[in-house]
Amino acid sequence: MARPGRPALPRDPNHPMIQSYLDMLVSQKGAAQNTVAAYERDLNDFHTFAKQEGFDVVKATPENVKAYMGDLSTRIHVKGQKEGKISERTKARRLSALRQFYMFTISEGKRDSDPTSNIESPKQTRTLPKTLTESEVTHLITTAGKSGTPASKRLVCLLEMLYSSGLRVSELVGLPLSSIGEGSQFVLVAGKGGRERMVPLSEPAQDAINAYLAVRQNFISPDDKGTQAQWLYPSKTSVVGHLTRQRFAQLLKDLSDDAGMPEGKVSPHVLRHAFATHLLKNGADLRVVQKMLGHADIATTQIYTHVIGENLKKTVEEKHPLNKKTGTK
Name the residues annotated as catalytic.
Answer: 168, 192, 269, 272, 295, 304
CA 192/CA 248 separation, integer angstroms: 20
User: Residue 187's closest CA among 207, 171, 211, 170?
Assistant: 171
User: Residue 151's closest CA among 211, 64, 70?
Assistant: 211
Alpha-helical regions (H) of 169-285: 169-173, 203-213, 245-258, 268-281
Length of the chain: 329
User: Residue 163's closest CA among 195, 213, 202?
Assistant: 202
Residue 7 belongs to what H/E stretch?
none
CA dihedral sign, ordered 151, 155, 161, 164: negative
Alpha-helical regions (H) of the chain: 16-27, 33-53, 62-72, 88-107, 134-144, 150-165, 169-173, 203-213, 245-258, 268-281, 286-293, 298-301, 303-319
Q: What is the DSSP string of 192-221?
A: GGG-EEEEE--HHHHHHHHHHHTTGGGGS-
Do 304 and 325 meet the contact criterion of CB atoms below 8 Å apart?
no
Residue 85 belongs to what H/E stretch?
strand 82-85
